[in-house]
Structure 1
């Protein structure tokens, strides 16, 4: 029988974090992390199949039903720190990870920097962040400053129905997504406003990163992963737009790599059963 979910909330020292949980205490503890501008509902089609797993999927700060960070912007390491605080709240000294896209990158950072706490990490169409070298730092910081100054003048769009918001996500997303998959994410990502609907998402998430890791920084985190690690790679996903990253993946011999035909959100699309089967086998091997 497929597992059913329930809502969870965590009162962290600096922010309220919401999420969805599947499974019962006693199962393999797994924290799941969604992609940029998505939310915990991104795992709605794979989580119910993960028997023997106690999965807690978070709305990362600034996303979904979680609170927003102060006006200092967001970084991968800030988000990773929030994940660790959730693990502390749950009493999980050691736990496994499941990440999609940005969530996969955060999983790699956590698994590489705190290997003693991570039982295993499964990552879906994401591994390393966008990088730039030291010489690019002034230009990257300038982009952040200029965008920060313009942020206050921007207004969120208002839709007169949730259906129109779904259409906007399908047509305006950075990666192709079906209407059904978009509907899962939009339902958790909207709030009523001025007689219509608008996004809950923190506008600060649209700011460019003030600093990026160098290529060597990014690679070092993945090289330092000692726990079992699994990468589900979408053959038509975003990583295939970056051949330099794909070349690196082949060099990481400690990664289990599964290549599947499908787009960036393949875990929410028709390929979800295939992705769930890979994840189930991976987590079973950790138990």
Structure 2
């Protein structure tokens, strides 16, 4: 069940972003943000199961069919947040809700905390705060990032002789997904090159982040979220070890069977996630 999507391209002052729009024109406005190195197809199974919502699933900058940042630019979370606000302005959405997965959930949480007047409701799927950096080593992190940036021009993207080879590679990556989920992501994330295929995504996305929020800073930020928030956790997901931290968050929490991409891996997972989201958006 993937439904029919309207492909959109949104020209912002600094970049053009692509996305998929689904749902009734008078539905509740929602912007959906995917995870690192994924794309708008991350929500292909979920969106048709949210009948009351008008959902724009964005390809974040550097991902999917969206443009890459200009030469010399990078991809900090706050730049994604600015992009989302400008997209909402272009759509005429003064207030809107956010659904985020993984990195997209981290961006969504930070945006909701920083701009409470803009965000109505917040759904976080398998993400809430950035991964914790090793304490006491900011200089080493910055040095590693700078060296990678200087050497960036010599790095090459992976090459695949066939689409099926790319699907297998994506399904067995560091954040594994089912083969059917990988095929959905690959259909939007792959581009032809001479003799085969490679990823559309910007190679700079794999560079070390120069500066990362400390855990205390990240927690202070999300604790300032004012809107109703639903945090969805997978039993075999990436947040299983954050029990004490999650207990401090004043969010509604739901734990569901599945892995990190539970909303995309199969129809059963999408059904469970959608049921929780639909209840969350239904007034009491």
Q: What TM-score do you get using the length of structure 1 for normalisation?
A: 0.94
Q: Equivalent residues in 2 for 1:71-90 (5 A)? A: 71-90=72-91
Partner of 1:201: 201
- The answer to whether the 8 A contact 1:39-1:64 is kept is yes
Shift of 1:2: 7.9
In the TM superposition, structure 1's runs of 4+ consecutive aligned residues that sit over 6 Å from their partners are none
Q: Does 1:21 align with 2:21?
A: yes
Map 1:272-287; keep pairs closer than 5 Å. 272-285=270-283
The equivalent of 2:119 in structure 1 is: 118
Q: Secondary structure at the match of 1:14?
A: coil
- Give the match's secondary structure for 2:283: helix
Residue 265, structure 1, aligned to residue 266, structure 2: no
Contact 1:39/1:189 (8 A) holds in 2: yes
Q: 1:168 to 1:134 in 2, by over 3 A?
A: closer
Distance (Å, rounded) in 2 between the aligned partners of 1:93 and 1:221: 22
Residue of structure 2 in register with 1:97 after alignment: 98
- Aligned pairs (5 A) from 1:159-198: 159-171=160-172, 173-198=173-198
Say if 1:3 and 1:51, in contact at 8 Å, map to a contact too: no
Indicate the larger mover: 197-206 or 156-165. 156-165
In structure 2, what is the Cα distance between the partners aligned to 1:176 and 1:159? Answer: 18
Q: Which of 249, 252, 259 is the aligned partner of 2:246?
A: 249
Q: Distance in 1 between matches of 2:135 and 2:239?
A: 23
What's the C-alpha RMSD, in Å, of the aligned pairs?
1.6
Q: Does 1:237 align with 2:233?
A: no
Q: In 2, distance between residues paired with 1:4 and 1:190?
A: 21
Secondary structure in 2 aligned to 1:84?
helix
8 Å Cα contact 2:102/2:126 also seen in 1: yes
Name stretches of at least 5 consecutive residues in structure 1 with no aligned partner.
Answer: none
Q: Which runs of 5+ in 2 are unaligned?
A: none
Q: Does 1:53 align with 2:87?
A: no
Range moving further from structure 2, 263-272 or 30-39: 263-272
Displacement of 1:283 = 1.8
Deviation at 1:282, TM superposition (A): 1.2
Equivalent-residue separation in structure 2 for 1:165 and 1:132 (angstroms): 31
User: What are the Cα deviations for residues 53-80 of structure 1, in whole angstroms up to 9, with x where unaligned?
Assistant: 1000000000000000022211011111
Cα distance in 2 for residues equivalent to 1:160 and 1:136: 40
Match of 1:144 in 2: 145
Deviates more, 1:263-272 or 1:131-140: 131-140
